[in-house]
Structure 1
Amino acid sequence: MIADRSAPKLGLSTKLFYGFGSVGYGVKDVAFRSFLLLYYNQVIGIRADLVSFAILVALCVDAISDPIVGQWSDTVRTKWGRRHPFMFLSAIPAAGSLLFLFFPPEGMSEMQTFWYILVVGCCVRTFITFFEIPSSALAPELTSDYDQRTSIASFRYFFAYLGGVGMAFLTLLVFLAPTAEYPVGQLNPEGYRLFAIVGAAIMFAAILISSLGTLHRVKYFRMPPAREKIGPIRTLVQMKSTFAHKGFLAIVAFGVLKYTSVGMTSALNIYFGTYLWGLNSAQLAVLTIDSLTGAFLALFIAPWASRKIGKRNAAFGLAIIAVIFGSAPYVLRLTGHFFDNGDPLLVPALFAFSTVFQMCGVSSAVLTHAMVGDVVEESQLATGRRSEGLFYAANTLMQKSTSGIGVFAAGMLVAFVGIVPGMEPATIDPAIPRLLATVYVPTLIVLYIGGAGFLFAYRIDRTTHEASLAELEKRDRAAASNADDIPDPS
């Protein structure tokens, strides 16, 4: 289906419903990026490299499920549209598999636990794909407007952070609060089980509410022509020609490096908070709000920057600013110019630096997400096919897979510097977390700045986007006129 340019303008309620679905995706993300490695490594007692490898392999399974679901949703034709049937059907299995991920059977060996993480992790990621890919692909169908696409993308990212940060905050402040038995709350197994129960319930509700809340817009979509049935070989050839779009390849190249750093940062944050900054679970909970604050500010920064200097230029500039503020606290600590652990200004300073980092990083991600939507029309001009699902599947796959590489890299770094299962913050050698920071900072800088450079290969701006829409409408009118000229066989 294609966005009808004569349809009523998207209201705030539709943007909210569309974005709200990402709450469930945010819950899944925080589970994999922040808690899963620490839970199985420090609480269950499985080696960090083994856990991170299981997470990485589970992410690689998305290389199969994401494109299949994306291509499938592009070709489906129902009265509920192309995307909504997938979205509704994903709710129960996605939430259920997340619940099981944090309830491993007792008495398993280390290798049995590895396979459990791998299999159940694959289930979580596959089932959430059946919501996230079709839901993401709704964006170009909801609106063809250059700036509106940035706006709805910003809502999507905000709610993804709301789900992830909200669950992280609740978990660290309440579920993992210190007790007499577990003075370091992050090592309390019961807290992770509560996270899974509440997270699964929120994921289920978010999927259903978002699916129901956007269903009314289906009547404004124009169904594209049905595709001819082709075999797997021709399908792969079509997918190859679709992905050959230079602008999309530029977005993917940027994302591969950036989201590797995102996965690494997310997995290491709790290690840095615990072992480098010496924070308790309540202070860590406060610091999770910086992500949500940054995502909220991105609701306004991303659309404003898009209007002022265009999506590509804004995405590049914001990525550079993000990495400067993201690495600053570690550089300052390593050079002896930052607040000591226990200083009352330490947490506020970390919060301020990270808020700017998140605001710019999320704004950059919002802009590139909206840029994928603009690729759809330009690709349609070249191939004759609308492939929203396929493009967003590849984009989401890139984000998930490279984030998995980042989590894997984080696990390798943790093992390399010598942080072992059950290590207490009070007894750790201070040189160990400092070594972790020494390796982390240059890696972060190289990944962010190197990725941003690829964006210069993206050439679509407001003018070229409007030209693509005008040409597509011209072709639609010509096709309709030709159809009217064909005599009725009866």
Structure 2
Amino acid sequence: MSTDSIETKARRSPCVGSDETLSVFEKAGYGLGDMASNFYWKTFEVFLIYFYTDVFGLSAAVAGTMLLVTRVWDAVNDPIIGWIADRTRTRWGRFRPYLIWMSIPFAISGMFAFYTPDLSPNGKIVYAYVSFLLLMTCYAAINIPYGALMGVISANSLERTSVSTYRFVFAFTGGVIVQYFTLDLVAWYGRTSAGEGIAGTVDEQVGFFWTMTTYAVAAMFLFWICFATTRERITGDVIAPSTIRQDVGDLLGNGPWFVLMAFGFLQLLGAFIRGGAILYYFKYLCGDATIASTYLVAGSLASIAGMLLTKKAAKLIGKKRLMMISSLAMAASSASLFWIDVDQLKWIFAIHIIGSFIGGPGPVLLWAMYADVADYSQWKNKRRATGLIFSAATFSQKFGCAIGAAAAGFMLDGFGYAPPIAGVEQAQTPETLRGVRLMISLLPAAFYAASALCLLAYRIDEKTLKQIESDLRQPVI
């Protein structure tokens, strides 16, 4: 057999790679990348609206509009980054290099998005738009290749579920760090000295900038470690060349991908409405904003515990069924807050912990299933576009984040929320307090329940997955 014929067969093989068991070291290394991302993502989820209204100085409506408008760029930018990443060729692979190339811009953009300049009101609005747009561009340019890397790190679906488990354990650990330390770091960095102003007061503008700088530098180093400890096993050169029209056509004909897009969008929409209300809930209804950090950390630790059981539970009852159960548990947990009295902190915490534990497998399964969808697309179309599939997935997540954060801003404005004036807290009306209560309970619960219903249309079952894996291992002669 000639060398040319061997190479031709290799190029035509639909899937070249290894489904070997990955080392704990590599899985943990991959997980550190999402810890890096969550230093930003969890900050967006919990503190972004608060930062723009109470620290940066925008009205809730202006902040909400800004977060919504900037996503128009994401609609164009994300698929382009995924398409480019699919066609990147380096000795390190096609996705890993971006973890090095974009880590420094990612850090710098994060720092300056949380900087409050001394500008006129209109000047601050322009700065907010430009800095946040730049931040989300850099976020996409590193996070889309990072997410796509999971689709080529192994050819085995259950092994990818294991990798996804490590990913989200580290991601939620990063979230715990943000939830627990952010307000303390803001206070520490922003506390004025005895000789400046009033001793013991906190400049939150300074505090948030240096807190985000700390997270940004840590994220940069974590992405470097992720690059050094992982490798790509499903090689891109074995897939037949395709045009962007073909790739987009394949994507639009991928029914399971649409289902996961809708699921992820609804999940994030609920999460960001709920997350945006948490600080206001504990500050104005419970009377102590510091409780929020403990509440968030307790939920994240419970989620991590639930994540650790994901692989075994998915093997026992299937990914789809487990993800539906997780979503419904989150819906029930959120809805219950509407009826629990704000002074019943033990019940508030207990139900939150239980819901978070059962809901823990959800994000693990979602991204493992996106990798399955990439395999399904290749199996169906004989072409692979992992980067495009994951970029579209990331866009749905970011769009859910944007709509959720914007909705939180619009709702606060609609409910009559009065932000501090010159650092002085304003009294909130009963209508505002009821609105905040709705935002942390019934409204997100409706979106979580709707996401569970979406999964009824997901058609890739465990039997189909085994067939896909088997077929993709066979070389095409």
Could you state the TM-score of these two structures normalised by the residue count of structure 1?
0.87
Q: How does 1:371-390 map to 2 (within 5 A)?
A: 371-390=369-388
Instruction: Please give the secondary structure, in 1, of the residue aligned with 2:337.
Output: helix
Alignment-derived partner of residue 195 in structure 2 = none
Alignment-derived partner of residue 45 in structure 2 = 33
Alignment-derived partner of residue 323 in structure 1 = 331
Does the C-alpha gap of structure 1 residues 171 and 182 become closer, same or farther in structure 2, counting only changes over 3 Å? farther
Do structure 1's residue 99 and structure 2's residue 99 form an aligned pair?
Answer: no
Q: Which is further off, 421-430 or 399-408? A: 421-430
Does the C-alpha gap of structure 1 residues 111 and 4 become closer, same or farther in structure 2, counting only changes over 3 Å? same
Cα distance per residue 1:140-178 (max 9 Å; x no partner): 211222222211112222222222331231112342379
Q: Which is further off, 262-271 or 416-425? A: 416-425
Deviation at 1:354, TM superposition (A): 2.1
Cα distance per residue 1:268-294 (max 9 Å; x no partner): 11111211221243x222222124303
Q: Which is further off, 393-402 or 356-365? A: 356-365
Letter in 2 for 1:114: I
Structure 2 unaligned blocks of 5 or more: 1-12, 193-197
Alignment-derived partner of residue 170 in structure 2 = 159
Distance, in Å, in 1 between the alignment partners of 2:358 and 2:201 is 32
Q: Which is further off, 354-363 or 444-453? A: 354-363
RMSD over equivalenced CA pairs, Å: 2.5
Letter in 2 for 1:351: F
Does the C-alpha gap of structure 1 residues 464 and 192 become closer, same or farther in structure 2, counting only changes over 3 Å? same
Deviation at 1:3, TM superposition (A): 7.0
Distance, in Å, in 2 between the alignment partners of 1:133 and 1:43 is 30
Do structure 1's residue 205 and structure 2's residue 221 form an aligned pair?
Answer: yes
Contact 2:114 2:212 in 1 (8 A): yes
Letter in 2 for 1:15: K
Alignment-derived partner of residue 131 in structure 1 = 142
Could you state the TM-score of these two structures normalised by the residue count of structure 2?
0.89
Contact 1:320 1:449 in 2 (8 A): yes
Letter in 2 for 1:465: L
Do structure 1's residue 170 and structure 2's residue 148 form an aligned pair?
Answer: no
Alignment-derived partner of residue 9 in structure 2 = none
Deviation at 1:182, TM superposition (A): 9.2
Deviation at 1:298, TM superposition (A): 2.9
Distance, in Å, in 2 between the alignment partners of 1:296 and 1:440 is 21
Residue in structure 2 matching 1:193, options 197, 209, 227: 209
Alignment-derived partner of residue 10 in structure 2 = none
Does the C-alpha gap of structure 1 residues 2 and 36 become closer, same or farther in structure 2, counting only changes over 3 Å? farther
Distance, in Å, in 1 between the alignment partners of 2:18 and 2:436 is 55
Alignment-derived partner of residue 484 in structure 1 = none
Residue in structure 1 matching 2:281, options 272, 290, 301: 272
Does the C-alpha gap of structure 1 residues 71 and 45 become closer, same or farther in structure 2, counting only changes over 3 Å? same
Deviation at 1:111, TM superposition (A): 2.4
Alignment-derived partner of residue 73 in structure 1 = 85
Distance, in Å, in 2 between the alignment partners of 1:57 and 1:40 is 15
Deviation at 1:408, TM superposition (A): 0.5
Distance, in Å, in 1 between the alignment partners of 2:330 and 2:347 is 16
Deviation at 1:226, TM superposition (A): 5.8
Alignment-derived partner of residue 487 in structure 1 = none
Contact 2:17 2:154 in 1 (8 A): yes
Does the C-alpha gap of structure 1 residues 242 and 45 become closer, same or farther in structure 2, counting only changes over 3 Å? closer
Q: Which is further off, 57-66 or 403-412? A: 57-66
Alignment-derived partner of residue 222 in structure 1 = 235
Distance, in Å, in 2 between the alignment partners of 1:291 and 1:209 is 27
Contact 1:3 1:143 in 2 (8 A): no
Distance, in Å, in 2 between the alignment partners of 1:472 and 1:7 is 11
Contact 1:224 1:386 in 2 (8 A): no
Do structure 1's residue 43 and structure 2's residue 55 form an aligned pair?
Answer: yes
Residue in structure 2 matching 1:109, options 106, 116, 120: 120
Aligned sequence identity (%): 24
Q: Which is further off, 420-429 or 255-264? A: 420-429
Deviation at 1:257, TM superposition (A): 1.5
Does the C-alpha gap of structure 1 residues 5 and 44 become closer, same or farther in structure 2, counting only changes over 3 Å? closer
Q: Which is further off, 349-358 or 422-431? A: 422-431
Q: How does 1:294-313 map to 2 (within 5 A)?
A: 294-313=302-321
Contact 1:46 1:421 in 2 (8 A): no
Deviation at 1:396, TM superposition (A): 0.9
Distance, in Å, in 2 between the alignment partners of 1:183 and 1:42 is 19
Contact 2:34 2:170 in 1 (8 A): yes
Alignment-derived partner of residue 236 in structure 1 = 245
- Structure 1's consecutive aligned runs of 4 or more residues displaced over 4 angstroms after TM superposition are 1-7, 177-185, 423-426
Letter in 2 for 1:256: F
Q: How does 1:411-490 map to 2 (within 5 A)?
A: 411-422=409-420, 427-438=427-438, 441-474=441-474, 476=475, 478-479=476-477
Letter in 2 for 1:269: I
Alignment-derived partner of residue 406 in structure 2 = 408
Distance, in Å, in 1 between the alignment partners of 2:71 and 2:353 is 28
Instruction: Please give the secondary structure, in 2, of the residue aligned with 1:330.
Output: coil
Alignment-derived partner of residue 348 in structure 2 = 350
Letter in 1 for 2:414: F
Deviation at 1:47, TM superposition (A): 0.7
Contact 1:16 1:155 in 2 (8 A): yes
Do structure 1's residue 285 and structure 2's residue 293 form an aligned pair?
Answer: yes
Distance, in Å, in 2 between the alignment partners of 1:402 and 1:318 is 19
Alignment-derived partner of residue 4 in structure 2 = none
Does the C-alpha gap of structure 1 residues 252 and 275 become closer, same or farther in structure 2, counting only changes over 3 Å? same
Distance, in Å, in 1 between the alignment partners of 2:143 and 2:18 is 27
Letter in 1 for 2:224: L
Deviation at 1:228, TM superposition (A): 3.8
Contact 1:24 1:163 in 2 (8 A): yes
Distance, in Å, in 1 between the alignment partners of 2:220 and 2:43 is 15
Instruction: Please give the secondary structure, in 2, of the residue aligned with 1:144.
Output: coil
Q: Which is further off, 26-35 or 417-426? A: 417-426
Does the C-alpha gap of structure 1 residues 366 and 382 become closer, same or farther in structure 2, counting only changes over 3 Å? same
Cα distance per residue 1:398-437 (max 9 Å; x no partner): 0111111000010011111111220766843455312331
Contact 2:278 2:292 in 1 (8 A): no
Deviation at 1:2, TM superposition (A): 8.1
Deviation at 1:13, TM superposition (A): 0.8
Deviation at 1:372, TM superposition (A): 1.1
Cα distance per residue 1:52-104 (max 9 Å; x no partner): 21122223322122111111111222211111122210110000011111223
Does the C-alpha gap of structure 1 residues 317 and 132 become closer, same or farther in structure 2, counting only changes over 3 Å? same
